[in-house]
Amino acid sequence: MAHSPRKGSPARWAAVILPPLCLGGLLAWTADIFSPAAISPSHFMQRFHNAGAPGDGFRRAHAKGMCTTGWFDPSPEGRALSRSGIFRGEHLPVMGRFSLAPPLPYLPDNPAVARSLSMQIRSPSGDDWRLALVDAPLQSMRDIADAYAFFGAAKLDPATHRPDPVAVQAYAAQRPWLKTAFEQAKAHKQTSDLTNDTYNSLDSFILTDEAGKKTAVRWAAVAQEPFSPADGSGANDGNYLFKRLVQTLDQRPLRWDIVATVAREGDPVNDSSQPWDNADQKVTVGTVTFTKAYSEDESPCGPMVFDPTILPDGISASDDPLLALRSSVYMRSYATRSAEHKAPSMVTPGDVASPTLTQDEKGQ
Ligand code: HEM
């Protein structure tokens, strides 16, 4: 049985920094990214299981979610940074998935838990851009060894159904390089809703323009809805965040600006646990508009894997070691859950007005 993390609890700590939680995987594997060799994607699966992932066809992380559809309108500024066909199209179809970061598919919504937004944007010429974003400001790990230790510390104590606070504190104490990431996670002001939250890639990506010029960026999906602070209202309904997303979409479209923060000299491109310069240029490369919501049990976004290394020409992965790791682990999670019988999601089709999917929305 999943427990709702309380403010200041180890579970909240884990929820805030839990990211906070294919081919790329195969390439990563053959490139021997796992060192020492004893750590493999299967070992990460075991760690997610120990952290409460039940299996049952759910994702091993970010297990509770729901789907949205809409479109992406690129800006001329995006076209200048990247030659990708995504920035040359207009009104491109977008499949979205909002989720809670922990591996617990039946976690009641609550203000303390970290949230995420994944997207697939497609162009008519076959470009496919997948983004997996979280609302944490920085990543709480910098490499594979950190990631393995981090998910080890997230193991649930069978007596309390929460991570062992000693293991969690030891993880932080042994890693002084994560001090800023923890401070920023603590200072992060959670929004009232999924609808007015900002979601970050944390990892960086390389954009290539028509002339071959390369630019390193971090992505953010910045809500156009105004900020209002999380106040716990609605917390007596375990699906209040998702229901409010559905209710808002029933009334009006919701928009997020896709903003690239452009790296300057000295910004660490291969370390998502470190901040970049506050004065970095920010470029809005386009806007995503969502108009409909679906239970993931009836949308193609349910089975979809939002591997952040599935990228169109003109956008490529940086040398951040977490990107290759993520790709291989997401793919293992995908393969494992695809072979399981899927239990019903907590956000059921009955929670959504069940609009009919158009052919385009089905066309994955
Ligand atoms: C920058 C850091 C990270 C971000 C922004 C991030 C974000 C996300 C998001 C948004 C999802 C949900 C995808 C969906 O909606 O289907 C996800 C899924 C997942 N994440 Fe991460 N994550 C990060 C790091 C990691 C790391 C380091 C690991 C493990 C080593 C990991 C393991 C997973 C797994 C297993 C899934 C489920 C994949 C699936 O079955 O489709 N994540 N992540």
How far is it, in rounded angstroms, from Cα 216 to Cα 210?
Answer: 15
Q: Is 347 a pocket residue for ligand 1 (Cβ < 6 Å)?
A: no
- The closest-lying atom of ligand 1 relative to the alpha carbon of residue 203 is 1
Give 191's DSSP letter: B
| Token pair for 135 | 């609302």
Taking only the tens place, the pLDDT of each residue in 170-191 is 999 999 999 999 999 999 999 9
Q: Looking at the domain assignment, is residue 234 inside a domain?
A: yes
| Angle at 276 (CA atoms; ends 271, 282), nearest 5 degrees | 120
Q: For position 27, which CATH number holds?
A: 2.40.180.10
Residue with tokens 């609890």: 9
Note the pLDDT of residue 353. 65
Q: Looking at the domain assignment, is residue 53 inside a domain?
A: yes
Q: Looking at the domain assignment, is residue 5 inside a domain?
A: no
Could you tell me the distance, in angstroms and rounded to a whole number, from the CA of residue 116 to the centre of ligand 1? Answer: 9
C-beta of residue 96 within 8 angstroms of C-beta of residue 363: no
Q: Looking at the domain assignment, is residue 122 inside a domain?
A: yes
Q: Is 336 a pocket residue for ligand 1 (Cβ < 6 Å)?
A: no
Type of residue at 271: D
Count of domains forming the chain: 1
Q: Looking at the domain assignment, is residue 202 inside a domain?
A: yes
Q: Which of 16, 18, 21 to mutate to test the pocket of ligand 1 (most atoms within 8 A of CB)?
A: 21
Range of the domain at 96: 10-343
Q: Is 337 a pocket residue for ligand 1 (Cβ < 6 Å)?
A: yes
Residue with tokens 């959504």: 352
Helix (H) or strand (E) holding 190: none
Q: Looking at the domain assignment, is residue 138 inside a domain?
A: yes
Taking only the tens place, the pLDDT of each residue in 22-63 is 333 333 333 445 555 578 999 999 999 999 999 999 999 999
How far is it, in rounded angstroms, from Cα 143 to Cα 274?
Answer: 12
Q: Is 331 a pocket residue for ligand 1 (Cβ < 6 Å)?
A: no
Q: Looking at the domain assignment, is residue 3 inside a domain?
A: no
Q: What is the pLDDT along the chain (364 residues), one digit of tens a residue?
A: 333 334 434 444 444 434 343 333 333 333 445 555 578 999 999 999 999 999 999 999 999 999 999 999 999 999 999 999 999 988 999 999 999 999 999 999 999 999 999 999 999 999 999 999 999 999 999 999 999 999 999 999 999 999 999 999 999 999 999 999 999 999 999 999 999 999 999 999 999 999 999 999 999 999 999 999 998 778 789 999 999 999 999 999 999 999 999 999 999 999 999 999 999 999 999 999 999 999 999 999 999 999 999 999 999 999 999 999 999 999 999 999 999 999 999 999 888 865 555 555 544 3
Question: What distances in angstroms separate CA 254 from CA 24, 142, 291, 355, one per listed residue?
Answer: 32, 33, 7, 17
Nearest one of 146, 148, 156, 142 to 15, comparing CA atoms? 156
| Angle at 200 (CA atoms; ends 296, 20), nearest 5 degrees | 75
Note the pLDDT of residue 34. 56
Could you tell me the distance, in angstroms and rounded to a whole number, from the CA of residue 131 to the centre of ligand 1? Answer: 10
Note the pLDDT of residue 35. 54
Note the pLDDT of residue 356. 52
Q: What is the pTM of this model?
A: 0.89
Could you tell me the distance, in angstroms and rounded to a whole number, from the CA of residue 212 to the centre of ligand 1? Answer: 30
Note the pLDDT of residue 361. 52
Q: Looking at the domain assignment, is residue 305 inside a domain?
A: yes
Sign of CA dihedral 163, 181, 55, 355: positive
